[in-house]
Amino acid sequence: MAIARSPDVPAWARSRKSEVFGNQIPSADPDGDGVAVELALRFPGQQATDASGLFYNYQREYDPAVGRYSQSDPIGLNAGVSTYGYVISNPTRFIDPLGLTTTLITTYNFGIANHSAIHVSRPGKPDFLYDPSGTYAPGGRRGTGGLFEGRDASLASYKKYQVGTGSRVVFTVIPLTPEQELTLIANAEEWGDARGFWCASHVSGALGGMCGIKQTLFPGVLQKSAKAAECPVK
């Protein structure tokens, strides 16, 4: 990445060969003219702070020296077993501009995947849950269209409910961009809440082919597809 005074004269640059977890200061004078240009830009969504040496990353702060966040993930274990890790310890493939992720929820009974739902945590906005063909009804209320927001969209409460029915719950992180998350939510509103065995079809349909995840009728196939998702770095 480079910022230039003209097409042939870079004023600030970060090499593509930089240390993968960001523990390398960009060049403030790549053209060697003695005039330094200081910019706080680091990984997508991050800003360097002189006072602490940490990078501000909206929801929390990132420590490039160890490749970890200094605070635990606000969505808990949904992004993986390490709540302090950055993009599943794979910064050459993923980014995390907000420190948050989209989570596919798959329930299993007797070893067979039998239900799919999807959750989106949005900074500054209510959480969103899409549970088509489901039975989840917090406070005795079933969301219109299988859609839930705010407190009713609590991922912890949803998991507790599913575990209470005897299901095993598996979370699969899908590193969507904020724009993709907005599209997912709009698509879910269009797909609505079909009855019967259409949960995976509607969840995968709402994803609309994002990250190469194809539409399927089967929750287990959707979970495997999401686990192998190829989300482009943007």
Q: What is the pLDDT of residues 82-91, one digit of tens each?
A: 555 555 555 5
How far CA 130 is from CA of 43, 161, 220, in Å, comes to: 30, 15, 17
Of 224, 212, 218, which Cα lies nearest the Cα of 199? 218
What integer pLDDT is reported at residue 184 of this predicted model? 97
Inform me whether the pLDDT recorded for 213 exceeds 90: yes
Mean pLDDT of the chain: 76
Assigned token pair, 149: 């927001």
pTM, two decimal places: 0.61
Q: What is the pLDDT of residues 137-189, one digit of tens each?
A: 998 888 789 999 998 998 889 999 999 999 999 988 898 888 899 999 999 99
Q: What is the identity of the amino acid at 171?
A: F
* 189 against 121, higher pLDDT: 189
Inform me whether the pLDDT recorded for 62 exceeds 60: yes
* 97 against 201, higher pLDDT: 201
CB neighbours of residue 98 within 10 Å: 19
Inform me whether the pLDDT recorded for 80 exceeds 90: no
* 30 against 210, higher pLDDT: 210
Inform me whether the pLDDT recorded for 39 exceeds 80: no
Q: What is the identity of the amino acid at 165?
A: T
What integer pLDDT is reported at residue 6 of this predicted model? 52
What integer pLDDT is reported at residue 212 of this predicted model? 94
Per-position DSSP letters for the chain, written without gaps between them: -EEEEETTEEEEE--TTS-TTS-SPPBS-TT-SS------B-STT-EE-TTTS-EEETTEEEETTTTEESS--TTGGGG-S-TTBSGGG-TTT---TTS--EEEEEEEETTEEEEEEEEE--TTS--EEE-TT----GGG-PPGGGEEEGGGG-HHHHHHHHHHTT-EEEEEEE---HHHHHHHHHHHHHH----SS-HHHHHHHHHTTGGG----S-HHHHHHHHHT--PPP-
Inform me whether the pLDDT recorded for 78 exceeds 60: no
Q: What is the identity of the amino acid at 158?
A: Y
